[in-house]
Amino acid sequence: MDKKKHSTAQGADEAITAAGVAGEAAQVKGEEVQSVTAEERIRQLEAELAAKETEAAANWDKFVRERADLENYRRRTQKEKEELLKYGNESLLQDILPVVDSMERALGHADSESLSAVIEGIRMTHGMLVGTLKKFGVVAVEAERGTVFDPAYHQAMCQVEVAELPPNTVVEVFQRGYLLNERLLRPAMVSVATVPKDAA
């Protein structure tokens, strides 16, 4: 009976020992698997980090290039703006120079005997100048005698009592006004009719 108990106890101890050994083996195997998985994960993270570093370097390079392009564009635009301000009226001036030439020729031939020729030359020169201005969109503001006074286009210099013109109409133009492409460039300076006091 004691032998049987001893044999059973021994078998149980052996079973426990075998189970313990198997458990230890499984634990070691699990640690190896976990270790392999951790190493693979580290390699994966290192690869991802390298890819992100490459992407960041490419983005920085792109940023630096874009910044340089923007700075070059800004400088080029500034230079073009300065040149436009400096030489923007070149074509207008080229068209005005022949008018100056005509006036100089007229003045060169001026004397008391050729007064009518000088007047005709000045009249022609004036026509050339008006034509040049019209070419560039500059036209005179309508301000003839009897035109209704319009404060948007006329500047009243004084009021004149006139019986033959309706009140609030142009009597005389002191300085002609001009429009540039339908926008007021300079108002016409005029005198404006008012009702005479004795007629009131």
The count of structural domains within the chain is: 3
Termini Cα distance of the chain? 156
Asked whether residue 24 falls in the same domain as residue 103, the answer is no
Range of the structural domain that residue 109 is part of: 89-136
Looking at residue 189, what is its pLDDT?
Answer: 92
Asked whether residue 58 falls in the same domain as residue 83, the answer is yes
Asked whether residue 17 falls in the same domain as residue 78, the answer is yes
Its pTM stands at: 0.53
Looking at residue 49, what is its pLDDT?
Answer: 94
pLDDT higher than 60, residue 200: no
Asked whether residue 52 falls in the same domain as residue 117, the answer is no
Asked whether residue 12 falls in the same domain as residue 47, the answer is yes
Asked whether residue 37 falls in the same domain as residue 61, the answer is yes
Q: Which of 68, 129, 164, 148 is nearest to 156 (CA)?
A: 148
Asked whether residue 22 falls in the same domain as residue 100, the answer is no
- Provide, rounded to the nearest whole percent, the portion of the chain with pLDDT above 70: 79
Which position has the token pair 């500059």?
A: 138
pLDDT in tens, 22-49: 556 556 555 555 666 888 889 999 999 9
The domain boundary residue, chosen from 54, 72, 87: 87
Looking at residue 18, what is its pLDDT?
Answer: 55
The domain boundary residue, chosen from 52, 67, 87: 87
- Provide, rounded to the nearest whole percent, the portion of the chain with pLDDT above 90: 36
Asked whether residue 127 falls in the same domain as residue 149, the answer is no
> 120 pLDDT band (50/70/90 cuts)?
confident
Asked whether residue 57 falls in the same domain as residue 28, the answer is yes
Looking at residue 23, what is its pLDDT?
Answer: 59
> 20 pLDDT band (50/70/90 cuts)?
low
> 134 pLDDT band (50/70/90 cuts)?
confident
Q: Which residues of 78-100 are buried (b: 16+ CB within 10 A; e: fewer)?
A: eeeeeeeeeeeeeeeeebbeebe
Asked whether residue 150 falls in the same domain as residue 98, the answer is no
Which residues are 155's β-sheet partners? 189
Alpha carbon distance 195, 161 (integer Å): 6
> 17 pLDDT band (50/70/90 cuts)?
low
Looking at residue 197, what is its pLDDT?
Answer: 82
Q: What is the mean pLDDT of the chain?
A: 81
Bigger pLDDT: 182 or 89? 182
Looking at residue 97, what is its pLDDT?
Answer: 75
pLDDT in tens, 85-100: 777 777 777 778 777 7
